[in-house]
A and B are shown apart, each in its own frame.
Chain A
Amino acid sequence: DIQMTQSPSSLSASVEDRVTITCRASQSIGSYLNWYQQKPGQAPDLLIYGASSLQSGVPSRFSGSGSGTDFTLTISSPQPEDFATYYCQQSYSIPHTFGQGTKLEIK
């Protein structure tokens, strides 16, 4: 199985900050990397697919980059509604493993 490791597991930020979350795969997965946002009591929502493509309707302050084994999710200026938990997921091979999640909190 491909292991997905996210860091950090949690972080505090203010709306003036630039937030970066990283995700590392245990083997190369090309661009088969997706990012999801989950708010408490809700199902996850797709943010980024194919490592860097923004899902329709997602604000442009979200961006993704990377390929192979190392990936990054960046939030350029997090808004109050962005404070949530973020998960990366590899869709390269089954089982389609997720990272352990990164909880973004307000500083």
Chain B
Amino acid sequence: EVQLVQSGAEVKKPGESLKISCKAFGYTFTHYWINWVRQMPGEGLEWMGRIDPDNSKTDYSPTFQGHATISADKSINTAYLQWSSLKASDTAVYYCVRRYDIWTARGTVNYFDPWGQGTLVIVSS
């Protein structure tokens, strides 16, 4: 079964560092981009950035560039999202999700599937 399994909930203080993980099962990890999506309490979905696990090339949304870092270790089929100095505004659920490309009658398109179960990060003094 293709699935992404994320690390557990975290409670941190402002200024602390954190690294959360996303482990892939059931497919070739290096063949598909992994994306990270933020969902703040009671809010919608925000695309943060992505990584190509084969070569660790990354792209970021301007909103998150410079504050969060995406990485991957292809030897253990795991992607990461990390912060060096958390803020209270980083309190959210973070999802990892695979990008899948597929051919349709309209040409090749892509979508996000499967999603990890989410990691709740609470930043509070």
Q: Which residues of A contact B (CB under 8 A)?
A: 1, 30-32, 34, 36, 38, 43-46, 49-51, 53, 55, 67, 87, 89, 91, 94-101
Which residues B62-112 have CB closer than 8 A to chain A?
A: 62-63, 95, 99, 102, 104, 106-107, 109-112
CB-CB under 8 A from B50, the residues of chain A are 94
Where chain A touches its partner, the secondary structure class is loop
A-B pair count, CB < 8 Å, reads: 75
Complex CA gap A91/B104 in Å reads 14
Given contact pairs A1-B62, A96-B47, A50 touches B109 in the complex (Cβ within 8 A): yes
- Whether the pair B102, A98 counts as a contact (CB closer than 8 A) is no
> Separation in Å of the B24 CB from the closest CB of chain A?
15
Closest to B59 in A: A94
Closest Cβ neighbor of A94 among chain B residues:
B59
Q: Verify if B113 is at the interface (C-beta below 8 Å from A).
A: yes
Pair B113/A100 contact, Cβ less than 8 Å: no
Inside 8 A of A87's CB, which chain B residues have their CB? 44-45
